[in-house]
């Protein structure tokens, strides 16, 4: 069973701090990885995609991928109350169309 595991949280950080969200995946052959943000009652919204080892930065967000450890993370710098949401990690195993989603980590940013 291919899986993507996330700590369900909630992860609570003060405003202005760095929030670190982590994810592990079971299929070593996975090549594509995605982070989505989902506000309560809303649909998932793509934040970042990452395909190669290392860091990828976009504004306050940095995605990190370590294929040897089968580990993906998302760092949110200068966290804001508006970042409070559930963050979904997803991995695309090789072949096929089945993106595997984690159950999500709830983030709460305290003002």
Binding residues for other proteins (CB under 8 A): 4, 8, 31-32, 34, 36, 42-46, 49, 88, 92, 96-99, 101-104
Question: In whole angstroms, how close is the CB of 16 to other proteins at the nearest point?
Answer: 29
Question: In whole angstroms, how close is the CB of 98 to other proteins at the nearest point?
Answer: 6
Question: In whole angstroms, how close is the CB of 44 to other proteins at the nearest point?
Answer: 5
> By C-beta, is 4 or 19 nearer to other proteins?
4
> By C-beta, is 52 or 96 nearer to other proteins?
96
Residue 23, CA distances (Å) to 1, 16, 76 in order: 16, 23, 14
Residue 102: which of 25, 12, 11 has the closest Cα?
A: 25
DSSP one-letter code for 102:
P
> By C-beta, is 19 or 48 nearer to other proteins?
48
């Amino acid at each position: 069973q291919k899986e993507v595991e996330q700590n369900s949280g909630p992860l609570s950080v003060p405003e202005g701090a760095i929030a670190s969200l982590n994810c592990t995946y079971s299929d070593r052959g996975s090549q594509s990885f995605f982070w989505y943000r989902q506000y309560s009652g809303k649909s998932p919204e793509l934040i970042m995609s990452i395909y190669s080892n290392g860091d990828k930065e976009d504004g306050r967000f940095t995605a990190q991928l370590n294929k040897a450890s089968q580990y993906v993370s998302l760092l949110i710098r200068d966290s804001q109350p508006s970042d409070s949401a559930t963050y979904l990690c997803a991995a695309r195993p090789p072949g096929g169309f089945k993106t595997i989603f984690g159950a999500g980590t709830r983030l709460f940013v305290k003002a």
